[in-house]
Structure 1
Amino acid sequence: MPDSSPPEARLSDLDLSALLCSRVCHDVISPVGAIANGLELIDDPEMDPDTKATALDMVRSSVRTAAARLKFCRIAFGAAGSVGAVIDMGEAGEIAKAFVSEEKRVTLDWNAPRENRPKQQVKLLLNMVLMALAGIPRGGVVTVTVEEGRFTARAAGDRAKLPEPMVQVLAGTLDLATLDARLVQPYYARELARAAGLRLRMDMDGADVMVSAD
């Protein structure tokens, strides 16, 4: 009798690239839209000076947010150099901190040595940060630790919990027909871990959400 268990489904390269592009657009469309709205207020001759000053502050804040998200996405999802490139973990940490700081309610504690690592490993670690953030929707602290052969991103916060759809993506049990721009991220992280010969997990460790790869 043939094995009745379904084979692990995989996205095609075209579907994966399309969904990742959608994810990046989703991340930057909000601050870019806010910039456009702020500029409209500034250009409106009927707006009072106080309103224009507020709009200018909104533009400045949105520019910082858009820049932080684009820099993060460039490494987490993009090529960020040649195929065999290495990336400085310290630089990646600064980019990750700038990205997380725009979340306002989250602090990132980046405990990784300042050393060059293969690009795919750094991309995986940044994607693990995104997964950890999803476990603390009310805010908190994400602690990243890099040890020999093991990466962890621990998320501690009020009512931290496992995002069940993400867990299903990692387990390969989610119907890929339902995969969207949000859930393509843990799928991509799983593929990065697979390419690096690592196993990616997302579990509860006490009251914290633990994302680990080893």
Structure 2
Amino acid sequence: MTSPTNNIAALLGSRICHDLVSPIGAISNGVELLQMSGDASGPEIELIHESVENANARIRFFRIAFGVASPQQVVGANEVRDILTSLTRNTRMEMDWQSAADHTRADVKLIFLLLQCFEAAMPWGGHITITHSGGTWQVSGTSDRMKIRAELWDALQNKNQNAEISASEVQFLLLPELLAMAGRSLQLEVSETGITARF
């Protein structure tokens, strides 16, 4: 049996996220039971609670960004906003999902991978706005300080370009492949204080 490399990566992403949901959910339930019983309180339990919430938000995000996305699957606008709100809670990053419509999981997957690219360029925080109009997605991000690796952003528009990519930058490898499979092209505007991407 043969599968494209990006499909294998998506299957692995789905499997890992699936296997992590149960133990993280169990920890969250355990913390809630301790708090309800009055047997535990204080900064230690609060730290565990916040860490579990953060882990859960990341798994929900990663499940879409790196998991399998079949053409018929749809993700609701409220679910997307909830994921992004949970993901950025207590951080210096703001993500404003402005589309009120539901969208295919394949489209949301592309946006989530693109958001990870933006996050890599905005390690000190910033504001990202996501809009959808007339069949075109636009993601715009601004920050007082940006960390732009030009070769990575160039690779998004030229998937054949060889750029050294670390594990934390795998989104720059996956996104152009998935855009090409979807028959879409990415338009980019990159400056010292902002990035705008459209497809």
1:1-44 Cα offsets, whole Å, 9 max, x none, are xxxxxxxxxxx6179629x75xx78xx9xxx8xx8xxx9xxxxx
**How far apart, CA to CA, are the structure 2 residues paired with 1:70 and 1:108?**
17
Residues 1:209 and 2:198 are matched in the alignment: no
Q: Select the residue among 50, 64, 75 that pairs with 1:61.
A: 50
**How far apart, CA to CA, are the structure 2 residues paired with 1:161 and 1:133?**
10
Q: Residues 117 and 169 of structure 2 are in contact (CA less than 8 Å); yes or no, is this contact kept in structure 1?
A: no
**How far apart, CA to CA, are the structure 2 residues paired with 1:96 and 1:110?**
8
Residues 1:155 and 2:141 are matched in the alignment: yes
Residues 1:117 and 2:106 are matched in the alignment: no
Structure 1 gaps, min length 5: 1-11, 40-49
Residues 1:192 and 2:178 are matched in the alignment: yes
1:51-101 Cα offsets, whole Å, 9 max, x none, are x83321211110010000001111111136x55212223322221222122
- Equivalent position of 1:105 in the other structure: 92
Answer with 1 or 2: which has the greater Rg.
Answer: 1
**How far apart, CA to CA, are the structure 1 residues paired with 2:166 and 2:8?**
10
Q: Select the residue among 58, 65, 84 that pairs with 1:76.
A: 65
Structure 2 gaps, min length 5: 32-39
- Equivalent position of 1:88 in the other structure: 76
CA drift at 1:195: 2.3
Q: Which runs of 4+ in 1 moved over 6 A?
A: none
- Equivalent position of 1:136 in the other structure: 122
TM-score by length of 2: 0.72
For residue 162 of structure 1, give the secondary structure of its aligned residue in structure 2: coil
**How far apart, CA to CA, are the structure 2 residues paired with 1:181 and 1:158?**
26
Question: How many percent of aligned residue pairs carry the same amino acid?
Answer: 26
Aligned positions, number: 176
Residues 1:13 and 2:5 are matched in the alignment: yes
**How far apart, CA to CA, are the structure 1 residues paired with 2:167 and 2:71?**
24
CA drift at 1:165: 4.1
TM-score by length of 1: 0.68
